[in-house]
Amino acid sequence: MIKAIFFDIDGTLLSHRTRTIPQSTQIALKRLRERGIYTFIATGRHISEMKDLPLDNLEFDGYITLNGQYCYNKNEVIYDLPIDQQDIHNIIQLIENDSFPCIFVEKELMYINYHNQAVQIVQDAISTPLPDINDLKRGYDNPIYQVIPYDITQDDEAKILEAMPHCKKTRWHDLAIDVIPSQGGKQNGILKVLDYYNISIDETMAFGDGHNDIDMFELVKIAVAMGNASQEVKDAADETTNDIDDDGIYHCLKKHHLI
């Protein structure tokens, strides 16, 4: 029996075509909670970004954010995993020597060194304002949970990962990647949350559409790719549902007799 369901945000809960959460999805989430099924967000986003999204009328039992690096519920922080401090020192030096736009993500803040057209394109694609500009040297004194380089070549990407040996990357846009601790990821965050709530993996389900959902799909009992997902993500899932704008979540939950 499914007791917990994990939902990505972008392209899964939130349609960037309509910039809304489909009404059918809102109904489905409400019915899940009425049946006592736990619902969780599992996203690469930061808490400050989610405040700008139309999530206010939705209630979740917990939040796995920053690709699993910061997990919490309304009562407390369940788990957090910052990037190795030497890796942060290294990427700051790398950016000073060969500048590119890069977001640093702290517990309460996320900020970038500068904006360019690539940053604007990416932020528009995810219906999110441009991040505030700040000094990346804050990373010398504050834990950083995620680094987001923009507008980089494959050679640049290789240099970043070489400078951050305790980290790995996941791509979520042609012009941007997320860099997180190598032992991190949505999968790791989910495991911590399941342990907290005493739920087994055999009682889990997840919906997603992006590359950073693949490790989550490898963990849960039933992995569902949205119809708008890439073929790589669909191949990693147990099944594929309709597009987000064609009531994909509602139809799948109905098929599994969960609503």
Q: So which residues are the catalytic ones?
A: 8
Supply the DSSP symbol for 227. Answer: T
At 6, which helix (H) or strand (E)?
Answer: strand 4-7
Q: Measuring CA to CA, which residue among 62, 28, 9 is closest to residue 199?
A: 62
Cβ(101)–Cβ(151) under 8 Å? yes
For 66-122, give the DSSP string: GGGTEEE-SS-EEEE-PPPHHHHHHHHHHHHHS---EEEE-SS-EEES---HHHHHH
Query: In the numeric block, which tokens belong to residue 258?
Result: 């969960």
CA distance 225 to 241: 6
